[in-house]
């Protein structure tokens, strides 16, 4: 059995499927509508994530039926329902059980769901193992970090003055002319930082960054893509996008910085690149900035936690975010 058999099976079981390859109005609206009822934007519930990071490994389709709608991701050994919008639980369960019986050589998975989804579909999670997005996601208060008030943020203010206000570190928009600098940054970062992580994702991240250059061309009001330079040396980059379901939210989708002199960088480059993201989000009118999961790597966790007065919540399935006494749990 190959992937064509899976798509044929879907089509013959009252599912309308369409390849999801491009940033079209139809695809943006389809994905936006899937997550319209979510209480806040989860990091990966994004058309930009689907068409960059996820499409590197999977063939993607929009799928619609009477009982459910969603993004279906296919590869040689897996059929993934990417946070489906379930309209009728019994019919959906019947469908995926039949698919499991049909596609015996494939893992059938429901993944990247939020706590809101889990609480809403208890019947499904009793029958199927659900793969959650993350247990903790870092969400920043844009105004707070734009102002950097008080002694808690004194080190970040010093970094901002030393690198940004002095123009030691400057930023340029990523384009076809300088996108090759992304590879330089990623390869140096992998040698100095990437060894801490379980997988070398350099090729995947280069592919993802190249996709964001294309997104920026078509969506200049919804995407930010910058490279940071010290003199002429590329030392950091950041990719950001607006949450299509809520204009008050933006996402830091990917960010890397070289903090060592031997790589052409300097101390504080990563912090300064984060501050650059905050400044740009503030100019866009964002109130909140999602930086994704805290993860298990200590350096990454502690770096993200530096941008908060209080520790991130520990909500099951990222069940809520608490931003300086503001709670977004439903």
State pLDDT tens for residues 81-100: 998 999 999 999 999 999 99
Mark residue 300 as left, alpha or beta (left: phi above 0; alpha: psi -120 to 50; beta: remaining).
alpha
Per-residue pLDDT tens over the stretch 101-117: 998 889 999 988 887 88
Rounded distance, CA 88 to CA 96, Å?
A: 13
In whole angstroms, how far apart are CA 215 and each of 21, 93, 192, 280? 12, 36, 29, 17
In whole angstroms, how far apart are CA 5 and each of 15, 20, 60, 100, 108? 14, 18, 15, 13, 15
First and final C-alpha spacing in the chain: 43
In whole angstroms, how far apart are CA 326 and each of 254, 262, 288, 313, 318? 25, 42, 11, 12, 15
In whole angstroms, how far apart are CA 275 and each of 69, 120, 158, 238, 250? 38, 37, 11, 11, 14
Predicted confidence band of residue 135 (pLDDT cuts 50, 70, 90): low
Among 46-55, 67-76, 235-244, 284-293, name the one with the lowest average pLDDT: 284-293
Length of the chain: 330
Mark residue 295 as left, alpha or beta (left: phi above 0; alpha: psi -120 to 50; beta: remaining).
left
Q: What is the average per-residue pLDDT within 288-308? A: 61
At 305 the pLDDT is: 54
Q: Enumerate the β-bridge partners of residue 224.
A: 240
- Cβ atoms within 10 A of the Cβ of 2, count? 10
pLDDT surpasses 70 at 158:
yes
Give the mean pLDDT of the chain.
84
Dihedral sign, CA of 254, 136, 299, 288? positive
pLDDT surpasses 60 at 308:
no
Rounded distance, CA 127 to CA 203, Å?
A: 37
CB 161 within 8 A of CB 267: no
Residue 296 DSSP class:
S
CA diameter of the chain? 63
Burial string for 171-199 (b: 16+ CB within 10 Å, else e) reads beebeeeebebbbbbbebbbeebbeeeee
At 31 the pLDDT is: 95
Q: Kindly give, in sequence order, each residue whose CB lies less than 8 Å from that of residue 304, ignoring residues fewer than 6 positions away.
A: 138, 291, 294, 312
The two beta strands, 169-173 and 288-293, are unpaired
Q: Which residue has the higher pLDDT, 149 or 2?
A: 149
At 195 the pLDDT is: 60
State the Cα torsion 214-216-218-222 to the nearest 10°. 140
At 198 the pLDDT is: 55
Per-residue pLDDT tens over the stretch 206-225: 999 999 999 999 999 999 99
Backbone angles phi, psi at 315, to 5 degrees: -85, 135
Q: Which residue has the higher pLDDT, 44 or 300?
A: 44
- Cβ atoms within 10 A of the Cβ of 50, count? 21
Rounded distance, CA 302 to CA 192, Å?
A: 18
Per-residue pLDDT tens over the stretch 6-18: 888 888 887 899 9
Question: How many Cα neighbours within 13 Å face the side chain of 212?
Answer: 29
Rounded distance, CA 290 to CA 269, Å?
A: 20
């Amino acid at each position: 059995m190959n992937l064509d058999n899976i798509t044929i099976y879907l089509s013959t079981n009252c599912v309308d499927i369409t390849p999801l390859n491009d940033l079209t109005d139809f695809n943006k609206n389809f994905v936006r509508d899937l997550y319209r009822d979510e209480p806040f934007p989860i990091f990966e519930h994004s058309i930009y994530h689907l068409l960059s990071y996820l499409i590197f490994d999977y063939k993607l389709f929009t799928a619609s039926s009477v009982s459910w709608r969603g993004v279906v991701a296919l590869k040689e050994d897996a059929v993934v329902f990417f946070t489906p919008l379930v309209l009728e639980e019994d019919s959906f369960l019947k469908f995926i059980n039949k698919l499991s019986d049909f596609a015996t050589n494939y893992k059938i998975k429901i993944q990247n769901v939020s706590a809101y989804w889990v609480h809403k579909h208890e019947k499904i999670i009793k029958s199927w193992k659900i793969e959650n997005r993350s247990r903790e996601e870092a969400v920043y208060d844009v105004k707070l970090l734009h102002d950097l008030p008080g002694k808690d943020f004194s080190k970040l203010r010093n970094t901002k003055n030393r690198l940004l206000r002095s123009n030691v570190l400057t930023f340029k928009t990523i384009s076809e002319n300088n996108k090759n600098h992304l590879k330089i940054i990623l390869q140096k970062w992998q040698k100095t930082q990437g060894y801490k992580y379980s997988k070398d994702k350099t090729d995947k991240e280069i592919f993802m960054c190249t996709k964001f250059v294309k997104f920026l061309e078509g969506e200049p009001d919804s995407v930010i893509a910058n490279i940071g330079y010290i003199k002429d040396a590329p030392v950091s980059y950041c990719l950001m996008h607006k949450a299509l379901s809520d204009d008050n939210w933006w996402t830091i989708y990917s960010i890397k910085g070289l903090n060592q002199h031997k790589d052409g960088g300097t101390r504080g480059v990563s912090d300064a690149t984060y501050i650059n993201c905050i400044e740009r989000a503030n100019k866009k009118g964002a109130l909140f900035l999602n930086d994704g999961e805290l993860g298990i790597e200590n350096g990454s966790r502690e770096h993200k936690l530096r941008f908060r007065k209080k520790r991130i919540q520990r909500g099951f399935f990222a069940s809520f975010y608490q931003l300086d006494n503001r709670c977004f749990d439903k």
